[in-house]
Structure 1
């Protein structure tokens, strides 16, 4: 019951901020014993005398609400996961599946550009796996570039080398 009384008092005093001294306030206890305040008199009510016309609250520091939380920049890293650096790929059709790894995680709107021997392989993609076809025998380099949703370069992988081993039709190797 005390908490109800405190709530009623708090609401009452909060509502008095806009009142002038010419207005009258009355109080009484209801059938449950709760103290009630009103601007309408009733039998058994007593007039409450207000000591001040202007009630003021101390100013609260709200500066912490004005500043936007500073976003911690995420340092994304992209790397070539497969084929491993200096791995030999034995595939007579010349097919190689390249997998990139992004950490901490691949975000919506991000795109990966695969470079094969320094040249872009297709357009940037929202996939982290690429299929290369008809790769010639010999040494090849791979590199990946990660772009954010605004097409800003976020990360570049180290260059990775792989060796394509295909049977030669010339000498049977």
Structure 2
């Protein structure tokens, strides 16, 4: 901020000087200690003496000031964090709680769709936790899809596998 103010004041000073060689330029410090240049004298101001009448400044490339900064698109990732890949779930009721993880942060309006054994499980949700009920014994796969507020697919998780163990009615595990 201070360097910008000094640059602006310097440019004003140069424009005053180039406006008229006969005009005088005065300087003083304001109440904040900032050096001020003016063609109007005031109490406490000193006259600025210049050695030359021909002041020129080199051309400066200001094209970077004209363009708006380009926003880098955020790359979202979704993954299944629970149950862990290749985990064994031992639950006789067949209930499994699935948790998806989104990074960076889950944004407002985003939705997550869970795929269980390759098929969608319920409607896309703004929650990253899902409950599966009455899951049969054996190997199962999970996958999550992340959609933005415009229902555009943003990210798809790798397939995660888990194994459901339930007590068999025939006496085996």
The reply to whether TM is greater than 0.5 is yes
* CA shift for structure 1 position 60: 7.1
* CA shift for structure 1 position 76: 1.8
After TM superposition, the structure 1 = structure 2 runs for residues 1-173 of structure 1, keeping only pairs within 5 Å, are 62-103=62-103, 105-109=104-108, 110-169=110-169, 171-173=170-172
Q: Structure 2 length normalisation: TM-score? A: 0.63
**What is the root-mean-square deviation of aligned Cα atoms in Å?**
4.0
Alpha-carbon distance in structure 1 between the residues aligned to 2:80 and 2:130: 11
* CA shift for structure 1 position 163: 1.0
* Structure 2 alignment gaps of length 5 or more: 1-8, 17-22, 24-37, 41-57
Aligned to 2:45: none
Alpha-carbon distance in structure 2 between the residues aligned to 1:107 and 1:101: 9
Q: Which has the larger radius of gyration?
A: 1
* CA shift for structure 1 position 65: 3.2
* Structure 1 alignment gaps of length 5 or more: 1-8, 16-24, 26-35, 39-57
Aligned to 1:50: none
Q: Structure 1 length normalisation: TM-score? A: 0.63
